Structures are given as structure tokens and as C-alpha cells.
Amino acid sequence: MSEPTDQTEPVEEPAPVEPEPEPVPNLPVRPPVPPMLAKPVKAMPKQNGTLFYEPKWDGFRCIVFRDGDEVYLGSRNERPFTRYFPELVEAVRAELPDRCVVDGEIVLPRGSQLDFDALQQRIHPAASRVTLLSEQTPAQFIAFDLLALGDESLMEEPFSERRARLERIFPEKGESIRLTPVTTSDEQAAEWFETFEGAGLDGIIVKPGDQPYVPDKRTMFKVKHERTADVVICGYREHKSGPIVGSLLLGLYGDDGRLHHVGVAASFPMARRAELVEEIRPYIAELSEHPWGHWAEQAAANIGQPATGPSRGGQRVPGAVSRWNAKKDLSFIPLRPELVIEVAYDQMEGDRFRHTAQWRRWRPDRTPESCTYEQLERPVSYDLDDILAR
């Protein structure tokens, strides 16, 4: 249940490129509705007689509003997704009740797994491109909560009742609108936590069954994977407030012997950001001598152009023009690739960290060349359709 993100910098959902549609009329729950959220916890909560456990889907959080033929896809930041997913608009009309409000996640399956990279590509300003992508890479909607049905608001009902009502509107397997599996067994949830990651899911959501739907409040819990890796610091971007560290650019060596960009570490107290500048200052390098030096020319040439992918010749480099903000400055201060740190990460998206990595410690005992992809833990493979069949 994640908002749009990428692997190089925290991002925001795209601003609308056309006037927002009017809110759907005549529903007991009307947009915009900020979704109910989850707070992170380190360990799986034990069953206390009220808890429900669900897979944590890795896509775009979305609340669907349907009133007959009128459909509105609301995002987490309350801007509509409607124009970007025309195939889901049609699926909602075909597969959901005539008047309903359903909370869930937009995902994009590729084979037996989810593909978040391909999902990000679906946010495009050109209508012709939106239409083409809706045909080439159609999305699905995973439903996990029911906020309204007919003329009745269910937001004050406990989750156990909302879930039961949700199940009753899914008498058969939908083509594009799917129902998430749920269990009341903490042992089953622990098994899901270990096995479902191979299909692209990134943890477990735990919901108290006796609670109403509370918009924009963290009344649920989320358990996510955390692993560690030793990575090379290859550069940094300055913080928006001044010449201190905003984010550290991280690299790993591939089988080809080249240094690939795998993500960033960015969550530091302000005092630590200033200290880091002094600690890494001796390692500042000339861009022309840096393994990623060619990226600066590529980025400068692409400012204002659609993103084409952050790689060159098979080497992963630190981003291209931001898909979410084409004018965003993605330049960086290069460092000689000599410093190694340990970071914590939750999961990989292809060959890079799915989310911002967390600093753990310096690793002066490790050589940069020893920081390779081989150290990364690979999740057990699992088929997405098998998960949804539950």
C-alpha cells in the first residue's frame, strides 16, 4: 500500500495536467477522502482476538468512487488517477456494484509478479501515451476495504463488518478488480511475510477488526522486511536548505565490473547532514574522472524532456529527468568511490533499492570492490495469481 515513489529520490505524485473532474455526486461518501494509514512496527503483532492480516501491496493507493457510469479514482494525496487508468474505469463499471466506494491499490502485474517500474510509467501527460500504455501494460485494482455501498456509508462500521460486506460483492473472480486475501492467523501471516515477497509484495498490513474507517490516521500496522547491505558512497546531493548533505548516492558493483547506482540514503538529522559534509569532503572528485561522469551531460541534455530511463549501456546511473518533476535538479557532487557504509533496505526493485535506504554505520573494514550484488538476499519466488486465489 504504497504511494508513488522511485529508487533515486523521494517523489510526489504528479500534479494534474487537466482540470480535475467534478466529485462523484449522490454517494454517501464523496471524494476527496484521504485513506486510512498504517504505522510501521518491527514485529508481527500477535493475534488478540480482533486482528486481520493482509498482504501489503506495492502500488498506488487508490479509493474508487462509482455512481453508475460515473467513476472517480482518488489518490492518496487526493488528486485523481482517473485519466491515467482508463482501463480501470471500464473495469469498475463492469465488475463493481453500481454505487459503491472501495479502498484498495492499483498494481501492475507482469507475468507472476508485480512491476512497480512499469506502473510508474503509466503516469504520463500525453493522452495518446496514456491510451497506448493502458493497452500495453494494463493495471489491476486490489480491493481491501468497503467505505460505502448503495446509499449506506460503512465508515463507522468495524473493519470486520466492512470486510464481510466487501467479500459479498466479489461472488466470482474479477478480471481486473481483485479481492485481497485476508487471514486471522498470525502464524499464517508470518508465512505470507516470508513467501509472498517473491511476487513483489513488501510486507503485511495488520488491521484491528473492531475499528471504524478513520481517514488520514495511522490506526493500522505494517510489518516490512529489513535487510542490510554494504554499499559504496559515490556522491551526494545537497539539501534544499543549503550546502549540507541532502542524500547520499549509493553504488554496488555488478558482474560486469561496473559501479551501478542502487539508490540513496537520505534520512539524517540536520546536525548529522552538516557533519557528513566535512567527513566526505576529502573524497570530492572531478566529474570527468567519476564512473558516472557521463550522466551529467545526459541529464543536462534531457532537462524538460520525458524520462527515458536511468541507464546507459546497461549501467545503472543516478536517475534521468524526474518523471514527477521534469525541472527538478538531479545534479550531484561526485565522490571518489572509496567509502563504504552499511545500510538497511526493505526490498529490491530490479537492481536497485525500492525505497530510501537507512544509514547504519561506516564499514572501514570493507573494500569498495567487495560491495557487489551477490551479498543481497533474494526473496522466494511466488506466483501473484496464487496469492489472489486465496
In a domain, 26, yes or no: no
Q: Residue 295's pLDDT band (boundaries 50, 70, 90)?
A: low
Say what the pLDDT of residue 337 is.
Answer: 96
DSSP symbol at 155? T
Mean pLDDT score, 361-384:
84
267 pLDDT above the threshold of 50: yes
Task: Kindly state whether residues 270 and 145 are assigned to the same domain.
Answer: no
Task: Kindly state whether residues 149 and 72 are assigned to the same domain.
Answer: yes
7 pLDDT above the threshold of 90: no
Render pLDDT for 173-190 as a digit per residue (tens, 0 to 9): 678 999 999 999 999 999
Are 203 and 223 contacting, i.e. CB atoms less than 8 angstroms apart?
yes
Q: How far apart are CA 87 and CA 17, in angstroms?
A: 19
CATH of the domain at 145: 3.30.470.30
Task: Kindly state whether residues 168 and 63 are assigned to the same domain.
Answer: yes
Q: How far apart are CA 247 and CA 53, in angstroms?
A: 34
Q: Residue 380's pLDDT band (boundaries 50, 70, 90)?
A: low
- 77 or 45: which leads in pLDDT: 45
- 103: domain range? 37-224
- The residue from 176, 196, 224 where one domain ends is 224
Strand order in the sheet with 51-55: 37-40, 218-223, 204-208, 51-55
- The residue from 206, 224, 242 where one domain ends is 224
Task: Kindly state whether residues 237 and 97 are assigned to the same domain.
Answer: no
Task: Kindly state whether residues 56 and 121 are assigned to the same domain.
Answer: yes
Say what the pLDDT of residue 365 is.
Answer: 82
Mean pLDDT score, 318-327:
46
Q: Residue 50's pLDDT band (boundaries 50, 70, 90)?
A: very high
Choose the weakest-confidence range: 20-24, 31-35, 276-280. Answer: 20-24
Q: Model-level pTM?
A: 0.73
In a domain, 79, yes or no: yes
Mean pLDDT for the chain? 85
311 pLDDT above the threshold of 70: no
In a domain, 49, yes or no: yes
Render pLDDT for 104-162 as a digit per residue (tens, 0 to 9): 999 999 888 888 889 989 999 999 999 999 999 999 999 999 999 999 999 999 999 99
Render pLDDT for 83-103 as a digit per residue (tens, 0 to 9): 999 999 999 999 999 999 999
Say what the pLDDT of residue 197 is.
Answer: 80
Contacts of 321 (CB under 8 A, 6+ apart): 299, 302, 303, 304, 305, 306, 307, 308, 328, 330
Task: Kindly state whether residues 182 and 296 are assigned to the same domain.
Answer: no
CATH of the domain at 271: 2.40.50.140
Output the CA–CA distances (angstroms, integers) from residue 28 to 25, 101, 150, 225, 339, in the order listed: 9, 9, 8, 38, 57
Are 60 and 35 contacting, i.e. CB atoms less than 8 angstroms apart?
no
Task: Kindly state whether residues 200 and 55 are assigned to the same domain.
Answer: yes
Say what the pLDDT of residue 49 is.
Answer: 96
Task: Kindly state whether residues 65 and 203 are assigned to the same domain.
Answer: yes
193 pLDDT above the threshold of 50: yes
Output the CA–CA distances (angstroms, integers) from residue 258 to 85, 110, 262, 293, 371, in the order listed: 38, 28, 12, 13, 11
- The residue from 224, 245, 268 where one domain ends is 224
Alpha helices by DSSP H, listed for the chain, are 86-95, 116-121, 127-136, 159-168, 186-195, 270-280, 293-302, 384-388
Mean pLDDT score, 231-259:
93
In a domain, 382, yes or no: no
In a domain, 263, yes or no: yes
Say what the pLDDT of residue 381 is.
Answer: 67
Task: Kindly state whether residues 192 and 203 are assigned to the same domain.
Answer: yes
309 pLDDT above the threshold of 50: no
Render pLDDT for 199-233 as a digit per residue (tens, 0 to 9): 878 899 999 999 999 999 999 999 988 888 999 99
324 pLDDT above the threshold of 50: no
Task: Kindly state whether residues 95 and 177 are assigned to the same domain.
Answer: yes
319 pLDDT above the threshold of 70: no
Mean pLDDT score, 367-377:
90
In a domain, 27, yes or no: no
In a domain, 112, yes or no: yes
Give the chain's domain count. 2
Which residues are marked as active site? 56
Task: Kindly state whether residues 314 and 367 are assigned to the same domain.
Answer: yes
In a domain, 10, yes or no: no
- 379 or 28: which leads in pLDDT: 28
- 24 or 230: which leads in pLDDT: 230
Pairing, β 242-253 against β 348-349 = unpaired
5 pLDDT above the threshold of 60: no
Q: Residue 247's pLDDT band (boundaries 50, 70, 90)?
A: very high
Say what the pLDDT of residue 330 is.
Answer: 57
Are 298 and 310 contacting, i.e. CB atoms less than 8 angstroms apart?
no
Task: Kindly state whether residues 108 and 206 are assigned to the same domain.
Answer: yes
